[in-house]
Amino acid sequence: MLKTDTLPAQKKAEPAWDLELSSKHKLLDFNLKELIQYRDLIWLFIKRDFATQYKQTILGPIWYIVQPLVTTVINTFIFGNLAKIGTDGVPYLLFYFAGTMLWTFFTNSLNASAGTFSNNQAIFSKVYFPRLAVVISNLTSTALKLLIQFACLVVFWIYYLIIGQKVFPSPLALLFPFLILWIGLLGTGMGMIISSLTTKYRDLNHLLGFGLNLAMYITPVVYPLSEAPAKFSWLFYLNPVSAPIELFRIWFYGAGYVPPLMTLLSLGMTFLFLFIGLILFNRNERTFVDVI
C-alpha cells in the first residue's frame, strides 16, 4: 500500500486589522460635509426667522430700517444737540446710523447664538441635524438684516454727497464684507460661549441684556474714539467691538483713527472667542438636553 504525503491545506489569507485608538470626543468635532448636506435646512431656518419675526405686522420688514432710524434720531437729539459731542466732522445722521447699525448687528448675532440651546430645546430633543446649522442660519439672517440697513445708509450717504458734504469713502470700503464677517464671528463666538454656559447657569440670561446695555457706552457708537476720555482708553482696547465700528467710519467717511494695536487685539479676541465657543458648543450639544 502506497503512502502519499498529503500537503496541509493552505489557510485562507485573513484580513489584516489596523487598530486605531482615539478619544471618544474630539476637541473640535464638526463635519463640514454634513453641514453642506443640510444646507436646505439652514435656508429653511433663515426663511423661518424672517417670516416669524414680523408676521402679522403692518410694516413688516420695514421695521429693520425703522428701529435703527428712530434710535439715530434720539441719539442725534441727546448726544449731538444737547450734549454737543463731536462726530469728527461726520453728519449726525450718517455717524449715529452707522454706529447703531453695526452695534445692533453685533448684539443680534450674540443674542441669537446665546439662545441656541434654550430656544431650540424642543426640536433638538426630537430630530437630529447638525446643531451648528442653527448657529449658521442665525448669523446669516442677521447679516441679511444688516445689509437692508446698509442699503438705507447708502441712500443717506448719497444725499449728503449731493448737497456737498465731504464724506468720501476710501478704497478700503470694499472690505466691508470682511467687516461684516469680523463683527458677526465675534458676536457668534461670544454667543456660543454664553449659550453653553446658560445650560447650567440660567442667571446669565438675565445678565446678558444688562451687560450689553452697559457695554454700548464703552463702544464708539454714539461718539468717536477721539472723544473718549484718555484715562479710560484701556477699556476701548479691551472692547473688541470698538475697532471694527471705528474702522467702518474711517473707510466710508474718511474720519476717525484706530490704533493698529487695537485692531490686532480685536482680531485676536475674535478668533479666541470663536475657538473657545466652538469647543464649548461641541461639548454641550450632546448633553444639554439632559441638563436643561
Q: How confident is the model at residue 267 (pLDDT cuts 50, 70, 90)?
A: very high
Cell for 107?
Answer: 448684539
Q: How far is CA 258 from CA 150, 221, 270, in A?
A: 22, 14, 17
Q: Which stretch, 137-146, 194-203, 283-292, has highest mean pLDDT?
A: 137-146
94-118 mean pLDDT = 93
Q: What is the pLDDT of residues 153-183, one digit of tens each?
A: 999 999 998 998 888 889 999 999 999 999 9
13 sits in the region (left: phi over 0; alpha: psi -120 to 50; else beta) called beta
Q: What is the pLDDT of residues 231-247, one digit of tens each?
A: 888 998 999 999 999 99
Q: What's the pTM?
A: 0.86
4-31 mean pLDDT = 53
> Residue 52 pLDDT more than 90?
no
How many Cβ atoms are within 10 Å of 20's Cβ, its own excluded?
Answer: 4
Least confident window among 74-83, 122-131, 152-161, 221-230: 122-131
Percent of the chain with pLDDT over 90: 51
Average model confidence (pLDDT) across the chain = 85
> Residue 70 pLDDT more than 50?
yes
Q: What is the pLDDT of residues 186-225, one digit of tens each?
A: 999 999 999 888 877 777 777 888 899 999 999 999 999 9
Rounded CA-CA distance 49/28 in Å is 28
More confident: 16 or 92: 92
